[in-house]
Amino acid sequence: AQTVTQSQPEMSVQEAETVTLSCTYDTSESDYYLFWYKQPPSRQMILVIRQEAYKQQNATENRFSVNFQKAAKSFSLKISDSQLGDAAMYFCALTSGSRLTFGEGTQLTVNP
């Protein structure tokens, strides 16, 4: 069975500052992908960034980057230069080919 844990129900950051959201996971599979999804108040699920487990290099997408620690089964999301539009619920998710398993989510508030 796969599990994903986000231990921070809420986080806040000042506009233009950097924030890191934590995620740990567990899987017995050797081949898997990890994702961060953003869910604004509209509740649409928007893919932010993905990481292939076989890649050692951390993924980056503009202001978003991850710190993937495979041995520790940790997958954190760093948001640099935070903007008001980054305010949302963020979900960490894991798949080894079929279903996505999601964490509980972290509600991010961006303060002006």
Partner 1 sequence: EPEVTQTPSHQVTQMGQEVILRCVPISNHLYFYWYRQILGQKVEFLVSFYNNEISEKSEIFDDQFSVERPDGSNFTLKIRSTKLEDSAMYFCASKKESYEQYFGPGTRLTVT
Enumerate binding residues for partner 1 (CB under 8 A): 33, 35, 37, 42-47, 50, 52, 91, 93, 95, 97-105
Residue 56 or 98: which CB sits closer to partner 1? 98
Residue 19 or 105: which CB sits closer to partner 1? 105
Q: Is 25 helix (H, G, I), strand (E, B) or coil?
A: strand
> In DSSP terms, which residues pair with 90 in a beta bridge?
38, 106
Residue 80 or 102: which CB sits closer to partner 1? 102
Least distance in Å: CB of 76 to partner 1? 18
CA distance 37 to 9: 15
Least distance in Å: CB of 69 to partner 1? 20
Least distance in Å: CB of 2 to partner 1? 10
Q: Is 90 helix (H, G, I), strand (E, B) or coil?
A: strand
Residue from 54, 67, 2 nearest 28 by CA = 2
| CA 46 to the chain's CA centroid | 11
